[in-house]
Amino acid sequence: NLYPYLFGVESPLEHVMGYFVSVLRERIANFVDPKGQSLLADAVAETEAIAGTGGGDIEPQTSAVELSEGVSINDLRKNLPLLNQYMEEQCRSTTGRYGIELDAALITEIDPPAEVDRALSAINSTRNQVAADISTARADSEQQITMSARAVEIATNNAQAEVAPLHELAGTLISIKSEGGSDCLKAYLRNLRVPLFKRTERIYQTESKIEGKA
């Protein structure tokens, strides 16, 4: 296989180096953070478990977009051993192609061009700002929901406190009428009005006239 390497291509060294670079670029372009994939799998499994227990259709709190929306340069730098391993696996075919064997891949640093680095930094800053705004909005909504629930609970307690004396008075009147009859109930109401007369300044008494029809 050294013949096609030496005579089959015009620049064999540049050709093989270009092959290595293309493999590396393909891996970087399709790179997915394994930690994000594991978090996504756990979130999906937890959601399916909740739905299976009668929780209904519940969306996972961490969506696939949030976990795998692009890969930053820092993610690549943290996973350089994975890139080296992928290079070694994909370049095993170089022995059959060119008669050249790749012993090992050692990628120690990834430095993008200055323009790309600034663009990635701007994207990361924007993404962090969006995540912070979303967290703030969620916290505010949860606080508003909690305050609304408290307000409803307070209003319900106040209404029950106002209604309770009326229920108690109704029970007392029913008990008096059932035990003593209508006369006893009238006497109770008459005696109940006596304290009110002390606080009144003017009393109006009306008489109803019944007119007969010929």
- The whole-number pLDDT of residue 59 equals 47
- The whole-number pLDDT of residue 211 equals 55
How many CB atoms within 10 Å of residue 90?
Answer: 18
Identify the CA nearest to 29 among candidates 71, 85, 75: 71
Q: Where are the domains of the chain?
A: 2-112
pLDDT band at 37; cut points 50, 70, 90: low
Residues 201-212 have a mean pLDDT of: 69
- The whole-number pLDDT of residue 53 equals 52
pLDDT band at 152; cut points 50, 70, 90: very high
The string of pLDDT tens digits covering residues 165-174 is: 888 888 888 8
- The whole-number pLDDT of residue 151 equals 92
Q: In the predicted model, is pLDDT for residue 158 greater than 80?
A: yes
Report how far residue 185's alpha carbon sits from residue 195's, in angstroms, rounded to the nearest whole number. 17
- The whole-number pLDDT of residue 120 equals 73
- The whole-number pLDDT of residue 83 equals 84
pLDDT band at 61; cut points 50, 70, 90: very low
Tell me which amino acid residue 180 is.
Answer: G
The string of pLDDT tens digits covering residues 129-142 is: 888 899 999 999 99
Strands (DSSP E) found in 25-125: none
**Average model confidence (pLDDT) for the chain?**
76
- The whole-number pLDDT of residue 15 equals 83
Q: At what angle do helices 80-90 and 12-29 cross, to 10 degrees?
A: 130
DSSP state of 199: H
Residue 107: burial class (beta carbons within 10 Å; 0-12, 13-18, 19+): middle
- The whole-number pLDDT of residue 48 equals 57
DSSP result, 3-36: HHHHHSSSSHHHHHHHHHHHHHHHHHHT---HHH
The dihedral formed by the CA atoms of 74, 76, 80 and 82, expressed in degrees to the nearest 10: 140
Residue 36: burial class (beta carbons within 10 Å; 0-12, 13-18, 19+): middle
The string of pLDDT tens digits covering residues 70-121 is: 566 777 788 888 888 888 888 887 777 777 777 777 888 888 778 877 887 7
- The whole-number pLDDT of residue 51 equals 52
pLDDT band at 14; cut points 50, 70, 90: confident
